[in-house]
Amino acid sequence: MTTMTDTALAEFKMPDVGEGLTEAEILKWYVAPGDTVTDGQVVCEVETAKAAVELPIPFNGVVGELRFPEGTTVDVGQVIITVDVSGGAAPAAPAAAAAPAEPVAAPAQEPAPAEEPAPEGRQPVLVGYGVAASSTKRRARKSVPEQAEQPPAGTYYAASVQAELNGTSTSALASAPVPSPAGERPLAKPPVRKLAKDLGVDLTAVTPSGPDGIITREDVHAAVAAAAPAPAAPAPVAAPQPAATQAPAPVQAAAVSSDARETRIPVKGVRKATAQAMIGSAFTAPHVTEFVTVDVTRTMKLVEELKQDKAFVGLRVNPLLLISKALLVAIRRNPDINAAWDEANQEIVQKHYVNLGIAAATPRGLLVPNIKDAHAKTLPELAESLGELVATARDGKTSPAAMQGGTVTITNVGVFGVDTGTPILNPGESAILAVGAIKLQPWVHKGKVKPRQVTTLALSFDHRLVDGELGSKVLADVAAILEQPKRLITWA
């Protein structure tokens, strides 16, 4: 995650904050060049396809440069920040003023396609000449050595510091980059290429502003805005130009013109991961959904009684708590439903534990963190875990680990006033229970029509490993417990 150079410059690389993730977006920097940092201090917040995570720095020193601005998607393993750990008084960023001489001269020694001049010339040399601009393994831009003299540090932030030292306005830096030479493939991330394709933008005509001459989303939108009065490219949408906003995290957004009829939102982060997971689940696991409408009046009364119980002081008691407990009891009575399908080995993997997932709608999109070993928790412990799970999700602090390893899930669509639905399985799980709105409805109770609290439950399950009988038993057990909550005791 970190490397050290001979000049005591430490490099902090984008770590894999989840299992198998390949990139993360920098949401916010908490430090700037010249700031002093200490071991364990959080320096930035990043968003992966699974969660927003704060990254702590693992050493002490002075921030040299921030390699990428906020809103940039960075590959795992790329250096995102450098720190001078030599203990000297001079910050690393101002030292960049004297650095251009070495990296500018170095490319002239090699007739091959030149490497881009390295920031501050502080990185180790692997091939005997010059220095690498970063740890990315991207081919060099042939025109970069001529342009690199303007921002010697090679990054937006370092260039800004250099401009201040030279008395140049940072706005002048924006005009420094030039479009890629004709015939050369411009540097851009795949999502940016996709965005350009959707908007009908020729990347070879776009002026890059990202580090190392990389074209960013903002560059694409700027090119579209500049060409909006007379769009010549075969754009997939008609004028007026649709604006782009960033989702789910409000890091930055392009302005929407007053006559815009469409808004294009880049699909990334949680939204992208959710879309891919749902497609994979819907077209891999054969879904079956069953429904049951049940009188939950007694359960609602029990909820009110538990709120007054001393064992639940300070805890949030709501219908979801008892519904969760009812599902756990139903799984105990029908353990075969708590399983997963192993396609590679053609095996059914039965789980002897329940990691109960709770679907949570957050500003960043749908998250499904789970309560580890929920089957072993008492009702007060389950209430405490549910409260922590929901609060963490709403604050956007859910960790990737909290969303891994789920076995079954509950999604409460009733909070939106919806009666029921046909939920799609969380990938790798065998069942998901949807809980509809609890409403006062006419119901036949003891031979008479009376107003009762009624809800509809929907259970979707993977028909490869859960047949209709097993799925029906589980759903019927949950309904029976909610109708007569004393079964939480007799059946447990």
The domain ranges of the chain are: 2-173, 190-266, 271-490
Class of 2-173 in CATH? mainly beta
The DSSP secondary structure of 298-343, one letter per residue, reads HHHHHHHHHHT-GGGTTS---HHHHHHHHHHHHHHHSGGGSEEEET
463 belongs to the catalytic site: yes
Torsion angle of the four alpha carbons 383, 385, 390, 396, in this order, in degrees rounded to the nearest 10:
160
Residues 96 and 63: beta-carbon distance below 8 Å: no
Residues 329 and 482: beta-carbon distance below 8 Å: no
Q: What is the pLDDT of residue 181?
A: 55
Q: How far apart are CA 466 and CA 370, in angstroms?
A: 21
Burial status of residue 206 (CB atoms within 10 A of its CB: 0-12, 13-18, 19 or more): buried
Give the angle subtended at the CA of 382 by the CAs of 371 and 55, to the nearest 5°. 40
Q: How far apart are CA 240 and CA 243, in angstroms?
A: 9
**Is 86 strand, coil or helix?**
coil
Q: What is the mean pLDDT of residues 41-67?
A: 85
Q: What is the pLDDT of residue 124?
A: 40
Q: What is the mean pLDDT of residues 426-448?
A: 94
Q: What is the mean pLDDT of residues 56-64?
A: 90
Name the residue with tokens 């410059």. Answer: 9
Q: What is the mean pLDDT of residues 428-439?
A: 95
Of 310, 332, 293, 291, give the one whose Cα is nearest residue 488.
Answer: 332
Q: What is the mean pLDDT of residues 300-328?
A: 95
The DSSP secondary structure of 13-75, one letter per residue, reads EPP--SSS--EEEEEEES--TT-EE-TT-EEEEEE-SS-EEEEE-SS-EEEEEESS-TT-EEE
Residues 189 and 197: beta-carbon distance below 8 Å: no
Q: The whole model's pTM is what? A: 0.54
Residue 93 is classified by DSSP as T
Highest mean pLDDT among 213-217, 339-343, 455-459 belongs to: 455-459
Q: What is the pLDDT of residue 2?
A: 53
74: phi then psi, degrees, rounded to nearest 5: -120, 135
Lowest mean pLDDT among 42-51, 160-169, 405-414: 160-169
Identical fold for domains 2-173 and 190-266, yes or no, is: no
> What CATH homologous superfamily does 190-266 map to?
E3-binding domain (4.10.320.10)
Q: What is the pLDDT of residue 377?
A: 95
Burial status of residue 49 (CB atoms within 10 A of its CB: 0-12, 13-18, 19 or more): buried
Better pLDDT: 360 or 231: 360
Is residue 192's pLDDT more than 80? Answer: no
Q: Furthest-apart CA pair in the chain: how many Å?
A: 96
Q: Which residue is catalytic, options 221, 287, 375, 463?
A: 463
Average pLDDT, the chain: 75
Within a 10 A sphere around the Cβ of 348, how many other Cβ atoms? 15
Percent of the chain beyond pLDDT 70?
Answer: 69
Is residue 83's pLDDT more than 50? Answer: yes
The structural architecture, per CATH, of the domain 271-490 is 2-Layer Sandwich (3.30)
Percent of the chain beyond pLDDT 90?
Answer: 38
Entry field: residues in the chain: 492
Q: What is the pLDDT of residue 179?
A: 53
Q: What is the pLDDT of residue 451?
A: 96
Q: What is the pLDDT of residue 136?
A: 40
Indicate the pLDDT class of residue 429, thresholds 50, 70 and 90.
very high
| Interacting residues of 95 by C-beta distance below 8 A, sequence separation 6+ | 64, 84, 120
Q: How far apart are CA 149 and CA 232, in angstroms?
A: 34
Q: How far apart are CA 94 and CA 419, in angstroms?
A: 62
Of 218, 211, 183, 277, give the one whose Cα is nearest residue 71.
Answer: 218
Is residue 5's pLDDT more than 70? Answer: no
Is residue 273's pLDDT more than 90? Answer: no
Q: How far apart are CA 79 and CA 158, in angstroms?
A: 14
Within a 10 A sphere around the Cβ of 443, how many other Cβ atoms? 16
Is residue 119's pLDDT more than 70? Answer: no
Residues 434 and 460: beta-carbon distance below 8 Å: yes
